């Protein structure tokens, strides 16, 4: 007959519904590998401290090896009756090795055990996410290098503002994702502390060596306060906050990819394998991947809110509420991992329609600021130059032409400098030359500017910083 680990204390069994309600094994079995890793380190430390015998440790190691094999082979018999991953593994260990298995939990509680498992899990995932972020940044840099001189309209208010290069635009995202990488690195420091040894909440009467367990598990140090150790989940919240910011960046990029792929813009195309068709409209090719990424950003924000709300009312120390931390955390990890994996590949596959980008830049008087700047360099105060160029834009609007199409006399007529008290001689062929898109790009030649050489240098710097 199956019994709960604590059944000796109770007069009546749980109903099936309450069992299902309180059990977590169906989702926390995902922690099994880390649970075993933590148990082996704990047992090693107990043996070294003479709390259990060397023969017990040997038996535990043998049993855990078999259990890990059973889990990996999908042959492990997970039981709802045993509530969670921890009790399932402990029970199986005892079946396999007897009393040594029953000694494993000496000086330990599921409270510090689960806190340790989550940290081991999250550390592993944060390291993967860092690699994936680097891969995405590398893709952005690769496409940026190919397009370091590809001109496109830069926008403010989604209105054409000034010419930039497509490479410069992509490197803006590389910067955002590099900051996300830094946030992950920083968050890892606070994940990488060992709670084991806190036991249920107050520590243990056994002569444990927490530094040794920390060392065995690769943690930087043990946590400093036992109450905090079993109740703190802010490392998980911090990870979800960093993930939310990361997904916000993914979502902005997605929004742009979607806009750029629309027929009205036609700046880019995405490879077919990231798109789907329509069941009714034969001509359709929809940017599903960026749309879904934009949508999935919402669930990651939701998990952040969920975890914050989960923690906000909990008195010290451990409360069962915390069992609810796992599903949001797992789903955040899965969403971020899948999204980054797909995006690294998709970004590399962006097909650039440079002619359309160029034509769109010519449509919006994108070099008007360059003209005003040039007049300033010829002695006009900026406000007067601004007004003169605004008139020229109106002139072009009625003539239905671009600023760069104007001849010297036409530009003189358009600017009407004499009305503002300046000579028409300020307008010559050199002034007309600043109106070209290439001239505009070239002129922004400083750190962080869109000059194609600066873009190339920024890409090279990013490669150097990240080592690819």
Question: 321 vs 397, which CB is nearer to ligand ARG?
Answer: 321
Of the candidates 394, 410, 404, the residue with the CA atom closest to the CA atom of residue 366: 404
- Per CB under 6 A, the segment of 7-15, 109-117, 119-127, 383-391 that binds ligand ARG is 109-117
385 binds ligand ARG (CB under 6 A): no
Minimum distance of ligand ARG from residue 311's CB (angstroms): 13
Give buried/exposed letters for 205-214 (b at 16+ CB in 10 A, else e). Answer: eeebbbeebb
Tell me which DSSP letter residue 161 carries.
E
Catalytic residue among 157, 243, 254, 440: 157
Question: 34 vs 343, which CB is nearer to ligand ARG?
Answer: 34
Query: What count of Cα atoms within 13 Å lies in the side-chain half-sphere of residue 15?
Result: 3
112 binds ligand ARG (CB under 6 A): no
Residue 157 among the catalytic residues: yes
Among 110, 134, 183, 210, binds ligand ARG (CB under 6 A): 110
24 binds ligand ARG (CB under 6 A): yes
Q: What are the Cα distances from residue 2, in Å, to 10, 14, 70, 82, 322?
A: 14, 12, 21, 9, 26
56 binds ligand ARG (CB under 6 A): no
- Per CB under 6 A, the segment of 72-80, 146-154, 315-323, 394-402 that binds ligand ARG is 315-323
Cα–Cα distance measured from residue 193 to residue 323, given in angstroms and rounded to the nearest whole number: 20
Of the candidates 318, 107, 131, the residue with the CA atom closest to the CA atom of residue 196: 107
69 in helix, strand or coil?
helix
322 binds ligand ARG (CB under 6 A): yes
Q: What are the Cα distances from residue 268, in Å, to 119, 213, 257, 264, 352?
A: 42, 53, 8, 11, 5
- Per CB under 6 A, the segment of 259-267, 296-304, 319-327, 339-347 that binds ligand ARG is 319-327
9 binds ligand ARG (CB under 6 A): no
Residue 168 among the catalytic residues: no
Catalytic residue among 7, 55, 262, 278: 278
229 binds ligand ARG (CB under 6 A): no
Among 312, 320, 446, 464, binds ligand ARG (CB under 6 A): 320
Question: 47 vs 307, which CB is nearer to ligand ARG?
Answer: 307
Query: What count of Cα atoms within 13 Å lies in the side-chain half-sphere of residue 299?
Result: 15
32 binds ligand ARG (CB under 6 A): no
Query: Taken in order 141, 142, 148, 149, is the CA torsion positive or negative?
Result: negative
Question: 18 vs 430, which CB is nearer to ligand ARG?
Answer: 18
- Count CB-CB contacts under 10 A for residue 424: 15
116 binds ligand ARG (CB under 6 A): no
Q: Mind giving me the DSSP string for 114-160?
A: HHHHHHHHHHHHHHHHHHHHHHHHHHHHHHHHHTTT-EEEEEETTEE
Which residues are the active-site residues? 157, 278
Q: Which residues bind ligand ARG (CB under 6 A)?
A: 24, 28, 84, 110-111, 114, 318, 320, 322-323
């Amino acid at each position: 007959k199956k019994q709960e680990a604590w059944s000796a204390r109770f007069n009546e069994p749980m109903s099936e519904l309450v069992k299902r309600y309180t059990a977590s094994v169906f989702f926390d079995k995902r922690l099994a590998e880390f649970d075993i890793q933590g148990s082996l380190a704990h047992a090693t430390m107990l043996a070294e401290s003479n709390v259990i015998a060397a023969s017990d440790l040997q038996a535990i190691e043998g049993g855990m090896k078999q259990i890990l094999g059973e889990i990996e082979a999908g042959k492990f018999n997970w039981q709802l009756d045993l509530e969670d991953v921890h009790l399932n593994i402990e029970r199986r260990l005892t079946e396999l090795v007897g009393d040594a298995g029953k000694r494993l939990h000496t000086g330990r509680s599921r409270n510090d055990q689960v806190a340790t498992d989550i940290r081991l899990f999250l550390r592993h995932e944060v390291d993967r996410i860092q690699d994936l972020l680097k891969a995405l940044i590398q893709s952005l840099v690769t496409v940026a290098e190919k397009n370091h001189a590809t001109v496109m309209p830069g926008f403010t208010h989604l209105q054409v503002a000034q010419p930039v290069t497509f490479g410069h635009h992509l490197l803006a995202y590389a910067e955002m994702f590099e900051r996300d990488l830094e946030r992950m690195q920083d968050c890892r420091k606070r994940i990488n502390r060992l709670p084991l040894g806190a036991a249920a909440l107050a520590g243990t009467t056994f002569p444990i060596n927490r530094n040794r367990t920390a060392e065995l598990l690769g943690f930087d140090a043990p946590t400093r306060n036992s109450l905090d150790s079993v109740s703190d989940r802010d490392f998980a919240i911090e990870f979800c906050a960093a993930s939310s910011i990361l997904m916000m960046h993914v979502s902005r990029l997605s929004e742009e990819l979607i806009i750029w792929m629309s027929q009205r813009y036609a700046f880019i195309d995405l490879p077919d394998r990231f798109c789907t068709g329509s069941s009714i409209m034969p001509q359709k090719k929809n940017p599903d991947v960026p749309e879904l990424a934009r949508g999935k950003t919402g669930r990651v924000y939701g998990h952040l809110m969920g975890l914050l709300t989960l923690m906000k009312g909990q008195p010290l120390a451990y409360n069962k509420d915390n069992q609810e931390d796992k599903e949001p955390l797992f789903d955040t990890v899965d969403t971020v991992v899948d999204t980054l994996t797909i995006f690294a590949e998709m970004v590399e596959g962006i097909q650039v329609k440079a002619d359309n980008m160029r034509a769109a830049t010519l449509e919006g008087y994108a070099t008007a600021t360059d003209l005003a700047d040039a007049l300033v360099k010829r002695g006009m105060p900026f406000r007067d130059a601004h007004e003169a160029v605004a008139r020229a834009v109106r002139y072009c609007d009625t003539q239905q032409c671009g600023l760069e199409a104007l001849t010297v006399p036409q530009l003189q007529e358009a600017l009407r400098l004499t009305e503002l008290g300046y000579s028409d001689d300020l307008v010559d062929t050199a002034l007309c030359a600043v109106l070209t898109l290439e001239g505009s790009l070239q002129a922004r030649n400083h750190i962080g500017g869109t000059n194609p050489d600066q873009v190339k240098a920024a890409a090279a710097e990013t490669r150097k910083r990240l080592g690819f």
